[in-house]
Amino acid sequence: MQIFAGLGNPGAAHAGQRHNIGFMAVDAVHSRWRFDPWRTRFKGVAAEGRIGTGKVLLLKPATFMNDSGRSVAEAVRFYKLATDALTVFYDELDLVPFKVRVKRGGGAAGHNGIRSLDAHLPDIDYRRVRLGIGHPGHKDRVLGYVLGNFAKADLDWVADVIGAVATEAAWLVSGDDARFMNEVARRLDD
């Protein structure tokens, strides 16, 4: 079992916000592969299914971004998972739009969802799928920017990015992070 956790804020009012691109990515994975319907579990909504030959639990915490770690930690502990079984999808200010990067470990870089995960899972060196949303230019504008909706002009690239992430998710399941990034980049260049 692996867990793919998307970070975001629950509810229709937050659905189109930049901060919710992690939820959007997990929703796209759910649509692309064979998954059960969403149901309430682990202080969020979860769905079990398969990506290729791997069994995956998709998770969208309902604890809001700043307390995401509580939900994710509950699922990790329930399944007694090893450190390499957790993948987290989230928005990254320090990456330009369209860019997708994968890494293990590192600091929170000011991201409250990652900070919460690190607090609740201090010994887990989980995989991070960082989805670039760009930076508004000044740190005083960050909060309004991440909690703002994507502009209509951005919706096509958002759909392309999350579609590529979902389509190539089997590489994450198999542990080939470099191939995942290469294939996502190739799809976005077409």
> What's the pLDDT score for residue 149?
93
Identify whether 111 is a catalytic site residue. no
Cα-trace Rg, the chain: 15
Domain ranges of the chain: 2-189
Handedness of CA 61, 91, 49, 70 (dihedral sign): negative
Which one is predicted more confidently, 47 or 138?
Answer: 47
CA–CA gap between residue 51 and residue 54 (Å, rounded): 5
- The CATH number of domain 2-189 is 2.40.50.140: no
- The closest of 91, 100, 105 to 136, measured between CA atoms, is 91
Cα pseudo-dihedral 140, 7, 134, 168, rounded to 10:
170
CA–CA gap between residue 165 and residue 58 (Å, rounded): 14
pLDDT exceeds cutoff 90 at 139: no
Q: How many residues does the chain have?
A: 190
- The closest of 88, 164, 168 to 130, measured between CA atoms, is 88
Percent of the chain whose pLDDT exceeds 90: 82
Which two tokens mark 59?
A: 């998770």
Q: Grade residue 25 by pLDDT with cuts at 50, 70 and 90.
A: very high
38 and 176 in contact (C-beta within 8 Å)? Answer: no
Which two tokens mark 55?
A: 């069994």
> What kind and span of H or E run contains 73?
helix 68-79
Residue of 19, 30, 111, 120 marked catalytic: 19
Give the mean pLDDT of 55-69. Answer: 96
> What's the pLDDT score for residue 107?
80
Q: Grade residue 130 by pLDDT with cuts at 50, 70 and 90.
A: very high
Distance between terminal CA atoms of the chain? Answer: 33
22 and 90 in contact (C-beta within 8 Å)? Answer: yes
Average pLDDT, the chain: 93
CA–CA gap between residue 159 and residue 178 (Å, rounded): 22
CA–CA gap between residue 21 and residue 67 (Å, rounded): 17
127 and 176 in contact (C-beta within 8 Å)? Answer: no
